[in-house]
């Protein structure tokens, strides 16, 4: 591999800055948010007055026709009565608008075929006859998720993001044991996602997962009862979207209405209501399991037509099954009973509480004020299963608080959407057992004398972290409609956020035992000790600024152009002001190994003034749509654009905590684990099994340094370039309209951060010069910085590329046609220049650099199909189903079999045999009883994985050694599966 040459789009910064500032000054007298409000526009007779009224809240907007057109923005999603007054005559009709939708509805005497009209004089008539307008003329690659889908489709988690996987190009990725649920799109990881709720981004700035609270959590980011509907934009979003390089989810929360309404639910299943897993079948019993979810929602008027409230609460109480087992390569018959007696089935708890409340005040016909608050609290036990005994678990605490004060002001020619926000999120994993850990091993039979396999871990867990974000923000969108055929939108966002990070791995000593050699005398001890003069706790008061302007230009009746540009900037004081310890800087400058190597150490030595924030994050975004017949039924669309994400603070903080602890490794010279006598290879000393003995050893063997992590002084911001072309159609089949979409998409991700080994041999090489033909292995791990440990360098360089075909078909559910069908198919050709980068891997130690070689992405199946159906049946019964099919997700593998020697191995991901790698079919049946009062009783049954299909997770990824193939390569190697097994879940609810 070679160091790649980075080429980045770098426009004239001063020119573009002036252009942005000038446009903002002209278009936005106020100071931005991703809009969840809908816009209704179209043609109308010249002298018309158009009034729209939300039938649930009384919100009213009025505009007069301009040159035969009208444009009304700032409309919360919902059902509206539209009144058109012209020549003393008034006509009325009703429509339903979706979140963030720009809908075209022509209001001349003859309505378009795709937007049927109907008189709407009463609320009941409005609710029955209001059709949902279909948005076909957007250039974005977008799909809507309706309230009907959220309410009725089968599910087991009540995570509203689960329905996003019905969108082409999206995956809801759940770890095999369910401990982590994250949303992903294409070849990029979950961290590149952003979710906007009521226009406010929920970005996680510190740890992976995309949004706060989703790192290592099976919890829900938001109470599902509070979500009205949402849309998913997989690429080519407009300039208003920020801190994202993958997909955007924009959701709107529910509001109170003029009617008092409420809902409560309880759902449950247990191990008695599901099929046994393969591991449980072997054991002859099931692990205890319990899943209980419950909650309520209340909403209504405080002042009719003026002030409304909405509150909700949801909770989870889980007992999660797991299994402790040895690696498949190990013959358990050779292990002592004290080890094997701890194998078997186990369980662990998880609990979550989520609260949300919202006040909506219609101060005037033009002015809407909203205040919302959310609190999330959860505690879970992680790290149990596999070779980890319950005592080795990690206790994870997630807390999150968010507030949003919003002002939406709308006139005939312009609209202003302002937010003041506050957020606080904490991620705090700790060892469940505050004690040293024991790691029991055997020699790997495939690599005798070289590698060891862990067969059981007990005692204190390895994970101790304290990370989070806290701060406030101001954001505003200003939209101007007064320029004929143009909709101008401009905005600014400013955030002041304090980011914190601390970690210590491991927090307690680790004692390594070879169970064949001795169960009482370890052959190795590892422990960490704070490094004098360094603090492992990092805090950075970051400042973020974003500016954008965009123009949606109706060039003609058929052609719409979307043009925009945004600029983002972030100050990171912990990075910019960092001063490397002068002693470390002197050691690096005097280190002869790197004087003639393939990098310049001066690019990583920071003196507090040679680092600057990346100011070049200009992101142009262009799109178009062309309505072939001018009736919105056949539209060609496409676009190209750039979008910038951000470097996670967890990566930026490694310069601090990566060198804050000295790691001591003490080896004991034993027959099986022989070592050369030195300060770290000594005869066994029982005193080292005590804290006092370890402290004495550290005192008598002082280490000036330890591992040193350094960031490049010119780090850049990760970004993606997106290109798409597609066509949407509305076709009439069996007397009802179906919407279809076909899109070709190309997305390139650049500048992902990664960490590599900076050590070099005395001649400056990365490979051992004694093995001149080596292209694998032989790294200079023993060649540490004099007086310190290894050198780890951080650079930009991770890249992904994706070519995809996105196909969708939808027949929506309506009162007149109470059934729906959706089909979403995705073909993905995904590549990455570091395997597992799409699943979160950031370390590259096998090569000196990431290079120009691309590998099959290990996070994206080539084929994926999701189909759903909902049908209303007699007697208040509704049935629904969901089918998910996917080809195998490629797995990471190293190829030594096709190499000349083991010094010439290489990355070689593969797909296990079999055309279908994942399949699941879910069913749900719901019955609603009208009790004769305002209260309705709901009973619902979900059958998850109805055919008990098993989606295996354990495969033998070892290809073998040169000319000695592993006969079991690619074969299933264990009983691990992705949950659930066939599970019956029962729910009860009341609605009023």
- pLDDT of 753 above 80: yes
DSSP state of 286: P
Strands 290-303 and 855-856: unpaired
Residues 6+ away with beta carbon under 8 Å from 631: 112, 113, 114
**What is the C-alpha separation between 102 and 104, in angstroms, rounded?**
7
Contact 851, 833 (CB under 8 A): yes
Q: Which burial class, exposed, middle or buried, applies to 735 when counting CB atoms under 10 A from its CB (0-12, 13-18, 19+)?
A: exposed
| Concatenated DSSP letters of 277-312 | PHHHHHHTSPPP-EEEEEEEEEEEEEETTTEEEEEE
d(CA 789, CA 759): 9
Backbone angles phi, psi at 657, to 5 degrees: -75, -15
Question: For a pLDDT cut of 90, what percent of the chain falls above it?
Answer: 74
Per-residue pLDDT at 113: 35
For 182-197, write each residue's pLDDT tens digit: 899 999 999 999 999 9
Residue 255 CA neighbour count, 13 Å, CB half:
29
pLDDT tens digits along 325-344: 998 888 899 899 999 999 99
- Condensed to tens digits (0 to 9), the pLDDT of residues 521-535 reads 999 999 988 877 677
57-61, 354-358, 763-767, 898-902: the lowest-pLDDT one: 57-61
Using an 8 Å Cβ cutoff, are 764 and 749 in contact?
A: no
Distance (Å, whole) CA 960 – CA 197? 49
Other C-beta atoms within 10 Å of 640: how many? 18
Please tell me the distance from the alpha carbon of residue 924 to that of residue 944, in angstroms, as a whole number.
Answer: 8
Is residue 154 within 8 Å of 194, Cβ to Cβ?
Answer: no
Q: Is 337 helix (H, G, I), strand (E, B) or coil?
A: helix
Report d(CA 297, CA 265) in Å as an integer: 9
**Which of 442-451, 530-539, 545-554 has the highest average model confidence (pLDDT)?**
545-554
For the chain, report the end-to-end CA distance as a whole number of angstroms: 65
Which of 648, 401, 698 lies closest to 538 in space, CA to CA? 648
* SS3 category, 587: helix
Quote the distance between the C-alpha of residue 257 and its chain's center: 32
* CA-to-CA dists, residue 140 to 210, 561, 745, angstroms: 21, 11, 11
Strands 38-43 and 102-104 come out as parallel
Four-residue CA torsion sign, 586, 587, 592, 596: negative
User: Is the sign of the CA dihedral 101, 106, 107, 113 positive or negative?
Assistant: negative
CA dihedral 158→159→163→169, nearest 10 degrees, is: -160
pLDDT digits (tens, 9 = 90+) for 873-891: 999 999 999 999 999 999 9
Numbers of helices and strands, H then E, in the chain: 10, 49
Count CB neighbours of 854 within 10 A: 15
Q: Is the pLDDT of residue 763 over 60?
A: yes
The answer to whether the predicted template modeling score (pTM) of the entire model surpasses 0.85 is yes
Burial-class residue 763 by CB neighbours within 10 Å (0-12, 13-18, 19+): exposed
Looking at the DSSP bridge assignments, the partners of residue 397 are 379, 428
Q: What is the DSSP string of 802-839?
A: EEEEEEEEEE---SSS-EEEEEEEEEEEEEESSTTGGG
3-state SS, residue 516: coil
Classify residue 283 by its DSSP letter: H
pLDDT at 468 over 60: yes
838, 830 Cβ separation under 8 angstroms? yes
Are 319 and 289 in contact by the 8 Å Cβ rule? The answer is: yes
What band does 770 get if pLDDT is binned at 50, 70 and 90? very high
**Angle 750-720-13 from CA coordinates, rounded to 5°:** 90
Chain centroid offset of residue 43 CA:
40
Instruction: Tell me how far apart the 2 most distant CA atoms of the chain are, in Å.
Output: 102
Region of residue 383 (left: phi > 0; alpha: psi -120 to 50; beta: else): left
What the chain holds in terms of domains, given with CATH numbers, is: 31-133 (2.60.40.10)
Using the structure block, give the residue that is written with the tokens 């290879």: 681
Mean pLDDT of 655-673: 87
Nearest to 889 by CA among 914, 906, 870: 914
Higher confidence at residue 526 or residue 735?
Answer: 526
Give the separation between CA 435 and CA 785, rounded to whole angstroms. 32
Q: Taking 50 as the threshold, does the pLDDT of residue 114 lie above it?
A: no
Q: What is the DSSP string of 723-776?
A: EEEEEEEEEEETTEEEEEEEEEEEEEEEEEEEEEE----TTS-SS-TTSTT--S
Quick: pLDDT tens for 120-139: 455 555 655 677 888 899 99
Q: Mean per-residue pLDDT for 605-625?
A: 96
- Cβ neighbours of residue 709 closer than 8 Å, sequence gap 6 or more: 654, 655, 658, 659, 755, 792, 793, 794
For residue 569, pLDDT over 50 is answered with yes
In angstroms, the CA 215 to CA 219 distance is: 10
* Distance separating alpha carbons of residues 682 and 668, to the nearest angstrom: 5
Looking at residue 126, what is its pLDDT?
A: 60
């Amino acid at each position: 591999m070679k160091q790649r040459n980075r080429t980045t789009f770098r426009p004239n910064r001063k020119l573009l800055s002036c252009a942005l500032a000038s446009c903002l000054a002209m278009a936005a007298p106020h100071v931005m948010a991703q809009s969840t409000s809908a816009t209704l526009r179209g043609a109308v007779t010249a002298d018309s007055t158009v009034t729209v009224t939300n039938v649930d809240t009384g919100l009213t907007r009025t505009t007069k026709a301009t040159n035969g057109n009208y444009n009304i923005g700032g409309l919360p999603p919902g059902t509206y009565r539209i009144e058109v007054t012209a020549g003393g005559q008034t006509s009325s009709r009703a429509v339903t608008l979706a979140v963030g939708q720009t809908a075209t509805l022509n209001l001349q005497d003859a309505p378009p075929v795709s937007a049927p009209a109907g008189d709407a004089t009463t609320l009941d008539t409005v609710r029955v006859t209001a059709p949902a307008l279909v948005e076909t003329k957007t250039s974005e690659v977008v799909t809507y998720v309706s309230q009907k889908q959220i309410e009725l489709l089968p599910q087991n988690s009540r995570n509203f993001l689960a329905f996003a996987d019905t969108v082409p190009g999206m995956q809801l990725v759940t770890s095999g044991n369910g401990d982590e649920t994250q949303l992903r799109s294409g070849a990029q990881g979950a961290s590149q996602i952003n979710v906007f709720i009521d226009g406010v981004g929920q970005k996680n700035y510190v740890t992976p997962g995309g949004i706060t609270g989703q790192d290592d959590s099976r919890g829900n980011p938001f109470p599902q009862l509070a979500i009205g509907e949402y849309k998913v934009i997989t690429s080519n979003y407009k300039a208003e979207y920020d801190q994202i390089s993958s997909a955007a989810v924009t959701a709107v929360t529910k509001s109170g209405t003029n009617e008092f309404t409420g809902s409560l639910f309880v759902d449950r299943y247990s191990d008695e209501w599901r099929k046994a897993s393969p591991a449980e079948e072997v054991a002859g019993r099931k692990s205890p399991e319990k899943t209980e979810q419950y909650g309520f929602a209340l909403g209504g008027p405080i002042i009719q037509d003026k002030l409304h409230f909405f509150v909700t609460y949801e909770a989870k109480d889980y007992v999660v099954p797991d299994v402790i087992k040895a690696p498949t390569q190990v013959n358990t018959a050779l292990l002592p009973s004290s080890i094997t007696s701890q194998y078997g089935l186990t369980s662990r708890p998880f609990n979550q509480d989520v609260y949300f409340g919202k006040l909506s005040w219609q101060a005037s016909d033009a002015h809407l004020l909203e205040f919302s608050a959310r609190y999330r609290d959860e505690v879970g036990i992680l790290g149990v299963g596999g070779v980890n005994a319950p005592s080795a678990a990690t206790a994870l605490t997630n807390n999150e608080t968010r507030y949003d004060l919003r002002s939406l002001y709308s006139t005939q020619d312009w609209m202003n959407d302002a937010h003041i926000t506050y957020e606080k999120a904490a991620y705090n994993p700790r060892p469940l057992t505050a004690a040293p850990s024991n790691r029991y091993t055997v020699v790997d039979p495939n690599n005798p004398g070289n590698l060891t396999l862990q067969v059981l871990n007990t005692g204190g867990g390895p994970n101790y972290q304290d990370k989070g974000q806290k701060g406030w923000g101001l954001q505003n969108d200003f939209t101007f409609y007064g320029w004929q055929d143009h909709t101008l939108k401009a905005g600014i966002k400013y955030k002041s956020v304090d980011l914190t990070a601390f970690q210590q791995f491991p927090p307690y000593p680790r004692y390594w035992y070879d169970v064949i050699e001795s169960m009482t005398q370890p052959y190795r001890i590892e422990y960490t000790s704070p490094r004098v003069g360094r603090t492992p706790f990092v805090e950075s008061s970051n400042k973020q600024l974003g500016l954008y302007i965009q123009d949606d230009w109706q060039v003609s009746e058929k052609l719409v152009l979307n043009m925009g540009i945004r600029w983002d900037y972030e100050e990171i004081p912990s990075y910019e002001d960092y001063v490397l310890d002068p002693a470390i800087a002197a050691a690096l400058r005097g280190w002869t190994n790197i004087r003639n190597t393939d990098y310049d150490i001066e690019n990583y030595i920071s003196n507090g003034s040679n680092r600057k924030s990346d100011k070049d994050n200009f992101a142009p975004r262009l799109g178009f749509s062309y309505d072939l017949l001018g009736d919105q039924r056949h539209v060609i669309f496409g676009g190209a654009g750039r979008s910038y994400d951000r470097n996670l603070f967890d990566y930026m903080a490694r310069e601090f905590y990566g060198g804050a602890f000295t790691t001591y490794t003490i080896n004991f010279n034993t027959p099986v684990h022989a070592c050369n006598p030195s300060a770290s290879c000594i005869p066994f000393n029982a005193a080292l099994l005590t804290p006092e003995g370890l402290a004495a050893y550290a005192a008598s063997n002082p280490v000036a340094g330890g591992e040193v992590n350094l960031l490049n002084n010119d780090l850049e911001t990760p970004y993606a370039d997106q290109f798409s072309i597609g066509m949407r159609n509305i076709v009439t089949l069996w007397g009802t309209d179906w919407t279809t979409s076909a899109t070709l998409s190309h997305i390139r991700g650049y500048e992902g951060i990664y960490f590599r080994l900076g050590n070099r041999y005395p001649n400056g090489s990365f490979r051992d010069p004694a093995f001149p033909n080596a292209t694998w292995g032989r790294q200079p791990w023993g060649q540490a910085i004099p007086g310190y440990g290894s050198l780890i360098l951080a650079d930009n360089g991770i890249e992904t590329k994706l070519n995809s075909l996105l196909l969708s078909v939808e027949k929506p559910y309506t009162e007149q046609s109470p059934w729906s069908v959706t089909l979403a198919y995705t073909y993905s050709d995904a590549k990455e220049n570091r395997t597992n980068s799409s699943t979160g891997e950031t370390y590259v130690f096998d090569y000196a650099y990431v290079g120009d070689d691309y590998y099959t992405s290990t996070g994206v199946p080539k084929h994926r199909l999701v189909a759903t159906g909902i049908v209303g049946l007699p007697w208040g019964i509704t049935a629904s189903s969901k089918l998910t099919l996917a080809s195998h997700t490629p797995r990471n593998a190293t190829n030594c079999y096709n190499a000349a020697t083991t010094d010439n191995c290489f990355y070689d991901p593969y797909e296990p045999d079999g055309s279908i790698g994942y399949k699941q079919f879910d069913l749900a049946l719901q019955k609603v009883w009208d009790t004769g009062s305002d209260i309705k009783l709901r009973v619902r049954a979900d059958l998850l994985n109805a055919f008990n299909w098993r989606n295996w997770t354990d495969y033998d990824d070892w290809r073998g050694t040169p000319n000695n193939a592993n006969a079991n390569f690619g074969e299933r190697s264990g009983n691990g599966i992705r949950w659930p097994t066939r599970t019956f879940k029962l729910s009860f609810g009341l609605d009023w």
